[in-house]
Amino acid sequence: MPSPATSSRSFLPATRPVQAVIVGAGHRSLLYASYAKAHPEELQIVGVVEPDPIRRRLTANRFGLPEDTLYASVEELVAAPKRADAVINGTMDTFHVATTVPLLKAGYDVLLEKPIGVSEEEVLELYRTAKACDRVVLICHVLRYAPFYAEILKRIANGDIGEVVAIQTEENVSYHHMATAFVRGKWSNLQEGGSSMLMQKCCHDLDLIAWMKGDVRPVKVSSFGSLSQFRADKAPEGSGTRCVADCRIEADCTYSARKMYIEQKLWGPYAWDNMHLGDVPTEEQKLESLRTNNPYGRCVWRCNNDVVDHQTVMIEFEDGSTASHSLTGATAKGCRTIHITGTKGEISGSLEDGSFKLRYPDVRAGHTFKEETVELNVSRDMHGGGDLRLVADFIRTLRGETPSLSSTSLDKSIYGHQIGFSADRGRLENRIVEIEDLARI
């Protein structure tokens, strides 16, 4: 990947905003594009690629885009005269590589939603194309930009806990998030969503583990997990096929679509088409939608989901250190935790708490350890406030400025993906998988 120190490419001037085209007008890409509203001197949205005509028009209205900057496909965009510096690619997982490769060849830099691709072969294809075209691809591993994780990495880089010996991370996916995204929703089925639950939900966490280890590469992975809860044979007596159509226990059900999406107003941009673009249905329209054809109105025990609802990953690095990650779906509270043990001390904390603790041995009489609490001003935004910090880093990179410690360039993001793909192979094949050295590929 190009960097200010090694690339011969020219960089964008700081005297004008970076001009970007949205590719795939979904919730995530629109969130990143919102940076242009807050910082118009740094980012300007100048076009959109979106096959859905309604979504394309709503996006055009939001950013004041003229008709000749609206495209139904990436092919239309690359065939037109180049009028932007970069794209924000928020397409579904299966389209990430297929859409990004022609954009790179056409001279665009890319801010790409994670995961990079749906297979290791795809990821490496994109890696080689980016190198050959001398283009920037920044991956949206936004948790690197959350102050919680950025400060932990600084402490490790400063040597505060010595050499890292072991890392344990955990992601607990709340029952309402699990039901929405991985049972009823876009990533519930491997063939349709393209990614396993591990790669879609936890490639953040696997990336963080690899990031915390710096240049020490992972070499072996094993994994276990299954779909235990959300199956037809686990459906309670009296449940139906749709919550507000034929279910006799809906009033008392934890997973009632009426409760989640109407009464509690959770996950609106998922449940209601184009809500993230300001198109909000009435309550009557929502009920009718859940009653008839809305996939989010289905009983969670009678969907076409086939991804796991829990999985554990174990990793060995080339220096002998180890890591583990536990994914658990349908917990009461969603949260991420981390515990890192070093040769001099340890770090432990939870992202949602907004603080972590440093602990060190203490051999003074009456003591066994000493402890320091690091409090952070963590945003309540999703991903701990990392989303828009990522966009700012993308802009700095395109201008040739030194990117932040959190930089998510393609070459620095591949190890975490290799861990995830290897973990899924290991789980399905019941074996330990060795990870190929990226330098030899």
Of the listed ranges 43-52, 71-80, 86-95, 396-405, the least confidently predicted one is 396-405
Residues in the chain: 441
Is the domain of 271 the same as that of 173?
no
- Per-residue pLDDT of 118-137, as tens digits, reads 999 999 999 999 999 999 99
């995530």: which residue's tokens? 28
Of the listed ranges 81-90, 333-342, 407-416, 424-433, the least confidently predicted one is 407-416
Q: How far is CA 343 from CA 63, 122, 152, 162, 355, in A?
A: 52, 38, 16, 5, 22
Is the domain of 22 the same as that of 76?
yes
Q: Greater confidence, 383 or 266? A: 266
Is the domain of 107 the same as that of 221?
no
Is the domain of 95 the same as that of 160?
no
Domain-located, residue 386: no
Domain-located, residue 393: no
| Domain at 35, CATH number | 3.40.50.720
Domain ranges, residue 435: 144-229+305-381+407-440
Contact yes or no for 48/71 (Cβ under 8 A): yes
Is the domain of 162 the same as that of 58?
no
- Per-residue pLDDT of 10-46, as tens digits, reads 899 999 999 999 999 998 999 999 999 999 999 999 9
Q: Greater confidence, 408 or 78? A: 78
Q: Phi and psi (nearest 5°) for 426? A: -60, -40
pLDDT at position 381:
57
- Calpha distance 28→35 (Å, rounded): 12
Tokens of 348: 């432990």
- pLDDT exceeds 60 at position 379: no
pLDDT at position 403:
85
Contact yes or no for 260/351 (Cβ under 8 A): no
Tell me what the mean pLDDT of segment 97-124 comes to: 96
Q: Greater confidence, 385 or 158? A: 158
Tell me what the mean pLDDT of segment 50-79 comes to: 97
Is the domain of 25 the same as that of 97?
yes
- Per-residue pLDDT of 308-321, as tens digits, reads 999 999 999 999 99
Domain-ending residue, one of 297, 320, 345 = 297
- Calpha distance 402→4 (Å, rounded): 7
Domain-located, residue 364: yes
- Calpha distance 248→384 (Å, rounded): 39
pLDDT at position 378:
67
Domain-located, residue 40: yes
Give me the DSSP letters along 272-319.
STTGGGT----HHHHHHHHHTT-GGGB-TTSS---S-SEEEEEEEETT
pLDDT at position 220:
98
Tokens of 377: 């001003």
Domain-located, residue 374: yes
- Per-residue pLDDT of 186-223, as tens digits, reads 999 999 999 999 999 999 999 999 999 998 999 999 99
